[in-house]
Amino acid sequence: MNYDREFLTGTVGVLILSLLSERAMYGYEILQEAERRSASQFQMKEGTLYPALHQMERAGFLKASWRDSDTGRARKYYALTAKGRRHAESKRRQWDAISAAMRAILGAEHG
């Protein structure tokens, strides 16, 4: 199923922050992990992810560090800062509330 892209607005942020709450990851890994866990429903675009990471780093939510992988290629890992962790929790709570409110409104017809 293809989503209208509009649905994704906002979700990208929570998604990144939530994944990084578990462990530090590099960009490409985030793309794959999101796709894997959602059974390919989400296919975040690079032009969406990388600028978002940079912006969150500028905002002080993330700290980046280069590490070499075993294959020799360099990877840029992103880890949550303390500030970022608080922000992640806040965003997560917002998402939960939003989807609960949506259920309350839509639920009347279906289930």
Question: Could you tell me which stretch among 52-60, 64-72, 74-82, 85-93 binds its own copies (CB under 8 A)?
Answer: 85-93
109 touching its own copies, by CB under 8 A: yes
Residue 53: how many CB atoms within 10 A of its CB? 20
CB distance 111 to 30 below 8 Å: no
Interface with its own copies (CB under 8 A), residue from 13, 27, 62, 84 = 13
Residues of this chain that bind DNA (CB under 7 A): 5-6, 8-13, 26-29, 44-48, 50-55, 69, 71-77
Residues 29-58 that bind its own copies (CB under 8 A): 34, 37-39, 41-42
Q: Which residues form the interface with its own copies (CB under 8 A)?
A: 1, 3-4, 6-11, 13-15, 18-19, 21-22, 34, 37-39, 41-42, 91-95, 97-102, 104-106, 108-110
